[in-house]
């Protein structure tokens, strides 16, 4: 069994690769360093553990992601999801990675990085509003499907916060996709991934956007990289 790891800002993202494909799970960083013997490859956008970090020779960096025009500052997570979505789609893609941060990454039909946008993810918005104001509560990321149950114009403060942040995040994704898709033939395809995706997908689809929802796109990309070669 081969194992993959992406160290995120708030969670570690794991995958075991076996005969049945990828088995993925996500968890907070462990207190003690895990055993690294089965680790085939890893990448990081979050902090490395101070005690017992992963083996450096198995680290994947931007040079191993086969996209064109990748700037040196780009996060490896954005490069991974952009490459995998573009490779699977076959033409231009906009990838919305809705995690701690909402990152939007545009890869054109020729496999070139064309830019992107970064804003606060749902959980970060909710926590910041609670911490930065005197009267608003500090909330966590809403559960999947909660936006469907919320009233469109809440009268309760907590529901107003949840609805406002979910709607704002979905609107940012929708506006970016519409800017890119209108002048293109075939239209730029939206791919959605990250922990907040279950809250956002229904709103985006209700707004008329066809999208590809790929919960474990970054780990799938790690497994498919030519330098790793665990899946096609």
Active-site amino acid positions: 77
Cα(137)–Cα(16) distance, rounded to whole angstroms? 38
Q: What are phi and psi of 96, to 5 degrees?
A: -100, 110
Q: What is the DSSP string of the chain?
A: -EEEEEE-SS-EEEEEEETTEEEEEEEPPPSSPPP-TTEEEEEESSPPPSSSPPPGGGB--GGGS--BS--TTS-HHHHHHHHHHHHHHSS-EEEEEESSEEEEEEE-TTSBEEEEEEEE-HHHHHHHHHHH-SSS----PPPTTHHHHS-SS-SSHHHHHHHHHHHHHHHHHHHHHHHHHTT-SSPPEEEEESTTHHHHHHHHHHTT--EEE-TTHHHHHHHHSTTT-S--
Cα(76)–Cα(66) distance, rounded to whole angstroms? 12
75 contact partners, CB below 8 Å, separation of at least 6: 45, 103
């Amino acid at each position: 069994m081969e194992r993959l790891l992406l160290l995120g800002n708030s969670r570690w993202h794991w995958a075991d690769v076996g005969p049945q494909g990828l088995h993925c799970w996500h968890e907070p960083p462990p207190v003690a360093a895990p055993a690294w013997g089965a680790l085939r490859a890893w990448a990081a956008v979050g902090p490395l553990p101070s005690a017992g970090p992963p083996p450096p020779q198995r680290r994947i960096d931007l040079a191993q992601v086969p996209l064109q025009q990748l700037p040196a500052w780009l996060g490896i997570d954005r490069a991974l999801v952009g490459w995998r979505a573009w490779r699977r789609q076959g033409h231009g893609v906009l990838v919305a990675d809705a995690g701690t941060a909402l990152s939007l990454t545009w890869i054109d039909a020729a496999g070139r990085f064309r830019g992107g946008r970064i804003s606060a993810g749902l959980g970060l918005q909710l926590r910041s509003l609670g911490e930065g104001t005197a009267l608003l509560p500090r909330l966590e990321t809403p559960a999947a499907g909660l936006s469907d149950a919320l009233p469109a114009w809440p009268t309760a403060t907590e529901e107003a916060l949840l609805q406002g942040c979910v709607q704002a995040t979905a609107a940012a994704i929708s506006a970016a996709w519409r800017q890119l898709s209108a002048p293109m033939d075939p239209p730029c395809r939206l791919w959605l991934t990250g922990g907040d995706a279950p809250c956002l997908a229904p709103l985006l689809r209700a707004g008329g956007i066809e999208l590809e929802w790929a919960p474990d796109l970054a780990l799938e990309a790690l497994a498919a990289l030519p330098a790793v070669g665990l899946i096609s």
